[in-house]
């Protein structure tokens, strides 16, 4: 049964009235005289941003390593073995093949997300020991991985397995959230397709809600590792 919405128009009209606007009116964007958020780390080179990101990983309990395109497959195998291999699930991302990782996925019998399989995908992710994803944008300031999820690159892959391994193209590293949102806004202005669901993930799940004692691995992945790869 489909639900119904009651009193929606009167509710919206009341809210708009409180804001001295009419329903449907598009507000003018303010023009700021100063935008300090745009200038933070603006002079940092790619290597400086990478160094900042690696430093930030220390405080969020995240393993980080760096390699080039030739060593990526071997580095990924090393991390998979380090975390116990077992069941592996990967997003359906054409970049795995472009990065020369198809044989690695095949050798470890990794399950590739297939939206046509419905809920079976989520079951596979929940049973997996390792989830493999490729970062779309990385925030150097906080070592936060931005994942543009869709039907093929599902968020379950990075959230449900015990360990999440994220491949980070060095060119995807930006100073902070400001630049990431500018990237998304530019896509919208250029008429490009934009993910309907974007995750920003900073290391393994943790909480200090109980007696201010930090506990890592409360929900979601217990371990997170980033592989920074250049020369792609």
Q: Assign residue 169 the CATH number of its domain.
A: 3.40.50.10420
- The answer to whether residue 77 is domain-embedded is yes
Domain holding 92, by residue range, is: 43-230
**Res. 133: pLDDT tops 80:** yes
42-51, 146-155, 210-219 — which is least confidently predicted?
A: 210-219
**Res. 39: pLDDT tops 80:** yes
Distance CA 40, CA 191 (A): 28
- The answer to whether residue 34 is domain-embedded is no
- The answer to whether residue 18 is domain-embedded is no
- The answer to whether residue 98 is domain-embedded is yes
- The answer to whether residue 76 is domain-embedded is yes
- The answer to whether residue 171 is domain-embedded is yes
**Res. 132: pLDDT tops 80:** yes
When pLDDT is cut at 50, 70 and 90, the band that residue 3 belongs to is confident
How many structural domains compose the chain?
Answer: 1
Mean pLDDT of 35-45: 90
User: Counting Cβ atoms within 10 Å, is residue 11 exposed (0-12), middle (13-18) or buried (19+)?
Assistant: exposed
Distance CA 103, CA 15 (A): 57
- The answer to whether residue 173 is domain-embedded is yes
- The answer to whether residue 10 is domain-embedded is no
Mean pLDDT of 93-105: 96
50-54, 165-169, 181-185, 220-224 — which is least confidently predicted?
A: 220-224
Distance CA 184, CA 155 (A): 18
Which two tokens mark 28? 């003018």
Mean pLDDT of 134-159: 95
**Res. 1: pLDDT tops 70:** no
pTM as predicted: 0.84
Encode pLDDT of 65-98 as tens digits: 999 999 999 999 999 999 999 999 999 999 999 9
Q: 204: which DSSP letter?
A: S
Q: Quote the pLDDT of residue 209.
A: 59
Count how many Cα atoms sit within 13 Å of the Cα of residue 80 in the half-sphere of its side chain.
24
When pLDDT is cut at 50, 70 and 90, the band that residue 19 belongs to is confident
Distance CA 55, CA 64 (A): 9
């Amino acid at each position: 049964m489909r639900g119904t919405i009651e009193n929606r128009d009167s509710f919206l009209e009341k809210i708009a009235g409180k804001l001295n606007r009419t329903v449907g009116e598009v507000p003018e964007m303010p023009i700021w005289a100063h935008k300090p958020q745009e200038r933070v780390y603006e002079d940092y080179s790619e290597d400086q941003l990478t160094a900042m990101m690696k430093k930030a990983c220390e405080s969020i309990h995240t393993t980080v390593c760096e390699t080039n395109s030739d060593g990526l497959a071997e580095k990924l195998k090393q991390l998979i073995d380090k975390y116990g291999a077992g069941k592996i699930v990967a997003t359906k991302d054409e970049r795995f093949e472009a990065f020369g990782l198809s044989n690695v996925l095949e050798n470890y019998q990794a399950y590739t997300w297939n939206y046509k399989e419905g809920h079976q995908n989520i079951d596979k992710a929940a049973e997996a020991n390792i989830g493999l994803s490729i970062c779309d944008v990385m925030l150097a300031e906080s070592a936060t991985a931005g994942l543009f999820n869709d039907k093929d690159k599902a968020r379950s892959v990075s959230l449900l397995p015990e360990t999440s391994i994220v491949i980070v193209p060095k060119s995807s590293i930006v100073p902070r959230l400001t630049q990431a949102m500018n990237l998304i806004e530019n896509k919208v202005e250029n008429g490009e397709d934009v993910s309907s669901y974007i995750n920003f993930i900073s290391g393994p799940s943790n909480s200090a809600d109980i007696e201010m004692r930090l506990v890592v691995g409360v929900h979601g992945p217990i371990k997170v590792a980033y592989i920074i790869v250049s020369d792609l």
